[in-house]
Amino acid sequence: MASIAIIGTGYVGLTTGACFSHLGHDVICADIDEDKVRRLQAGEIPIVEKGLDRLVDEGLRSGKLRFVLGAANASKDAEFHYLCVPTPQGDDGAADLSYLEAAAAEIASVLPDNSVVVNKSTVPVGSTRVVARVLGRSDVAVVSNPEFLREGTAVADFLQPDRVVIGSRDQEAAIRVAALYSRIAAPIMVTDPVSAETIKYASNAFLASKLSFVNAIATLCEAVGADVNDVVLGMGYDSRIGREFLRPGPGWGGSCFPKDTRALAKIAEDAGYEFHFLNEVLRVNHDQFTRTAQKLIDSVPAHLSDAHIAVLGLTFKAGTDDLRDSPSIEVLQRVVDAGLTVKAYDPAVLVDDNRLFEIYPDLKIEVVSDPYAASEGAASLAILTEWDEFTWLDFDKLAEIMKGRNIVDARNLLDPTIPRRRGFNYRGVGR
Ligand code: UGA
């Protein structure tokens, strides 16, 4: 079994570290945040991620998973060094590599001879070369090994992946990295670093394109009177299309798709290719936020213009507490700008949770502790995130406490017959 240093304990780093230790490797995870390191050492997980607490607990108990402050402290004795630091979006849409370069600079002098540095962060095409230049170590191979983890199912995605992609010019280093995954049953593809980096961006941009296409089809369905749920079901039977990622919604978001799609458009532009197609994918998504917001605005009848809208769901999707680049917030910002008031509930956002207003300081909404507190006196109700618990709403109770009878289901989560039977007007997406 190998010794692995993980630099950065965000979603990707923490999941990667915990899963590698579960596979039997000796893992040391490093972060620059002292408080976070202390909490991780005590087994406290800073994010909502299914199954991660169990793996961290298992690793801490067996001693196969440790947490330290500072990259150099993790790297000095390890054979593999996974760079899992953030690559935020810079002002021009390109990814900001400063964290990556700083991490590489910090470990350069302590790396044991012939160790392997692995880029796991989503980095612009060509970054493997940047890291190699910063390291300045001819004995150390730099390999790209992009992640395809979804928030909420990251542990399962790591342990049962569709594929493992390794980009390396050095065959021996590629084989050593591949061996880390020997207990995982998945195709392992070895290619050059630039192709591996492109696979990551192209995969996210393709999935985002699929969603913009589906949302555009939903708009078409509304115009021609078709039901998008049946349309995507019929499309999904075709194995060339596939069933997944065909759910229409309020627009797509999260910390990856918007950033990576814009970054790929910028990478293409810098390389001399205007990727008009991707710009259109982004524009369709922007329009979807606006269309959804308009549905919410239209759901408030003139005689109830003083009443608020009850909103269910703030996170960017169900199963996570992540609020970054959330489609729900994109929609609510437009609704609030139109002069409406909002009371919102989300099972992963507490009433006194300041994360929401730290990320969106100008957002003027009230957060409450349950769906009925949000709905009391509301003109209408909107579902913006597909949390399972929203399928169990008590519509008799809602009919009693709400002033209006309109429901906007931006995730097509509900069976429309249920609210309709209780006298509600139901509006979904594309049906
Ligand atoms: C995404 C990719 O799915 C992962 O493969 C990738 O590793 C990750 O980005 C990353 O680059 O780190 P994630 O951001 O966790 O994962 O979220 P997704 O599950 O892909 O959802 C993205 C957005 O699309 C969400 O707003 C979600 O609600 C929306 N979505 C997804 C739909 O509207 N409909 C669908 O059918 C699926």
For the whole model, what pTM was predicted?
Answer: 0.94
Q: What is the mean pLDDT of each run of 10 residues along the chain (431 residues)?
A: 96 97 98 96 92 97 97 96 90 82 95 96 87 96 96 96 97 98 97 96 97 98 98 97 96 95 93 96 98 98 96 96 96 98 97 91 95 98 98 96 97 96 96 93
| Cα-based distances in Å from 266 to 95, 275, 277, 284 | 9, 8, 13, 18
pLDDT of residue 385: 98
Pocket test for ligand 1, best of 52, 231, 252, 315 (most atoms within 8 A of CB): 252
Is 246's C-beta closer than 6 angstroms to any atom of ligand 1?
A: yes
pLDDT of residue 91: 77
pLDDT of residue 96: 85
Length of the chain: 431
DSSP per residue, 168-233: -S-HHHHHHHHHHTTTS-S-EEEE-HHHHHHHHHHHHHHHHHHHHHHHHHHHHHHHHT--HHHHHH
Q: Ligand 1 centre and the CA of 275: distance in Å?
A: 21
Q: Which of 406, 405, 408, 397 is nearest to 430 (CA)?
A: 408
Q: Which of 368, 297, 380, 306 is nearest to 332 (CA)?
A: 297
| Cα-based distances in Å from 169 to 79, 190, 194 | 18, 10, 10
CATH of domain 3-191: 3.40.50.720
Q: Ligand 1 centre and the CA of 379: distance in Å?
A: 31
Q: What is the rounded CA–CA span in Å between residue 256 and residue 269?
A: 20
**CATH assignment of 225-431, given 3.20.20.70, 3.40.350.10, 3.40.50.720, 3.30.530.20?**
3.40.50.720
Interacting residues of 121 by C-beta distance below 8 A, sequence separation 6+: 8, 12, 83, 84, 85, 86, 87, 99, 100
Is 295's C-beta closer than 6 angstroms to any atom of ligand 1?
A: no
Pocket test for ligand 1, best of 245, 257, 284 (most atoms within 8 A of CB): 257
Q: Ligand 1 centre and the CA of 252: distance in Å?
A: 8
Element (H, E) at 392: none
* Every domain range in the chain assigned CATH 3.40.50.720: 3-191, 225-431
Instruction: List residues bridging with 367 in a β-sheet.
Output: 344
19 catalytic per annotation = no
293 close to 276: Cβ distance less than 8 angstroms: no
Q: What is the rounded CA–CA span in Å between residue 425 and residue 423?
A: 7
DSSP per residue, 309-331: EEEE--SSSTT----TT-HHHHH
pLDDT of residue 122: 82
